[in-house]
Amino acid sequence: MDLLNTLVDKGLRRETPTRAEALAVLATTDDELLDVVAAAGKVRRHWFGRRVKLNYLVNLKSGLCPEDCSYCSQRLGSKADILKYTWLKPDEASQAAAAGLAGGAKRVCLVASGRGPTDRDVDRVSDTIKAIKEQNEDVEVCACLGLLSDGQAERLREAGADAYNHNLNTSESTYGEITTTHTYADRVDTVRKAHAAGLSACSGLIAGMGETDEDLVDVVFSLRELDPDSVPVNFLIPFEGTPLAKEWNLTPQRCLRILAMVRFVCPDVEVRIAGGREVHLRTMQPLALHLANSIFLGDYLTSEGQAGKADLEMIADAGFEVEGAGEVTLPEHRAGGCGSHAGGGACGSHDGAEAGCGSHEGGGCGSHEGGGVCGAAPASAPAPAASADEARPDLVAVRRRGAGTDLAPNA
């Protein structure tokens, strides 16, 4: 297949594919899927070998967010029956983080719902970062607190934060249909503030919100332009009680094509499978490891994930290995710059996808789809009807353990 050969060559050279090539990946058929995975897998292995980075989410405060992000179970007006609690104390957050680190995670993602942190909130999170690092000197810490004001990224960096996550989530042209209480430009500004402060920038997307192939390509090309170290790919978790509860638009095959497209466009960055992988990839999760080099371990912000032990078994059974604390995540040419601290990776998933760093749930650090392989999808074409997933609300389990509860976390 000429297209896939071209994309592999470009990925090994860090050359950006054309928009038509990226669209063509999303337009491939199920018969061509394994060829697509194999091609993107060559690029993934070239830059990251067979290592899988494990990340662990700690939801510092849950629910009661004033923003109206349609995908988020913590949004203003959400009827989702999620845990609601105010700020964890630094020692409580440190204990929660310790469970993930004991399970093999090398990065802890500290997430808090809300529009953005107050200066007092930055103080709280700074104290939490210090508490975690006192117990685990080599751990990477990513913060995901929403929109940043001037000077806040620098304060987090001084406190020991290694990365900051804030997702773009979807294309600029459709962002206003998903959220009205802040803008796409606000999100871009926060990613740039993190970068300028010397933090490793993490920013990703949410698939499955009814977007077109063009929307997906637009947001991934925008992310490439922002040049984050990490790109979390969330698959929408359609929580009952949120505006997008009926959006079941993804199949395992669609999810794999999306991950492959992201890998081709962002060949040498940490691509993380974030929220929703268990809901939409299901038994195809091991194949996704050939595309992404990073996952979240255990539970997400407000939803439960696969058992931590099952995550580790899946990685081993698929022929991959957990990335060690002493290993640098990013390739040498990237790790030498911003983000080289603490292993050089970045965070990702939250903002509506239930995975972590991003602005709260699916949008951050994170949690949430006839033509030949060379045929690009027609402009503005929605995902083909054949890609619609069967609604599986039985797979959406609200988190009832870990942070904010008296039960042991899943790690």
Active site residues: 65, 69, 72, 109, 142, 202, 272
Closest by CA position to 208, among listed 77, 346, 67, 354: 354
Task: Give Cβ neighbours of residue 160 (< 8 Å, ≥ 6 apart).
Answer: 126, 129, 130, 133, 141
Q: Which two structure tokens, joined as six digits, stand for 311?
A: 């995550």
In 3D space, the residue among 247, 244, 300, 279 whose CA is nearest the CA of residue 77 turns out to be 244
Handedness of CA 177, 235, 255, 279 (dihedral sign): negative
Residue among 150, 217, 148 nearest 359 (CA): 148
Helix (H) or strand (E) holding 232: strand 230-235
In the three-class reduction of DSSP (H, G, I as helix; E, B as strand; rest coil), residue 34 is classed as helix
Rounded CA-CA distance 180/343 in Å is 36
| Residue of 132, 196, 57 lying closest to 342 (CA atoms) | 132
Cα 4–chain centre separation: 25
Q: Which amino acid is at 294?
A: S
Which one, of 167, 165, 162, lies nearest residue 335 by Cα? 162
